[in-house]
Homo-oligomer: A and B are copies of this chain.
Amino acid sequence: MKLSVKSDYAARAVLGLARAFVTGSARKVEELALEQGIPGNYLVQILLELKTKQLVRSVRGKDGGYLLARPPGEITLGDVMRAMHGEVLDPPALGDPQCPLELREAWARLKAAAEQAADSLDFQSVLDQSGDREKMYYI
């Protein structure tokens, strides 16, 4: 099952904002777009959705832009995916009464596993991992 690039783009944008989180300054949309290789006008829509889901906030006017609404450690990949697609993984069987109950339970377990995995990946640890990589070169 291929996921859409939308959640990928969203995750990149959040990561870009996470890197700037300590500075407390807003980042411009176009700047983020170029840095992460995302079509600018598309990123605008994505950030707008992230904003309505309270993951980021925006500042208008000169020196405006976007910043994270919470520390990177409190934003997970699951949050981003839910902001884009409603659910991390949504098997259509769950809403279909014609599907045998045993099978629906199997789908539900798969969904729960994916959700649990996505929610345990927060952006602070993603940031930390890139730091760890540098250290590894010294081993």
Q: Mark A residues whose CB is within 8 Å of B.
A: 1-5, 7-8, 11-12, 15, 36-37, 77, 81, 85-93, 96, 98-103, 105-107, 109-110, 113-114, 116-118, 121, 126-127, 129-130, 133
Contact of A99 among B8, B92, B103 (CB under 8 A): B8
Q: How many of these chains are in the complex?
A: 2
Distance in angstroms from A91 CB to nearest chain B CB is 5
The 9 lowest CB-CB distance pairs between A and B, nearest first, are A113-B117, A37-B98, A102-B130, A8-B93, A1-B85, A2-B90, A114-B114, A102-B129, A5-B92
Q: Which residues of B contact A8 (CB under 8 A)?
A: 91-93, 96, 99, 107
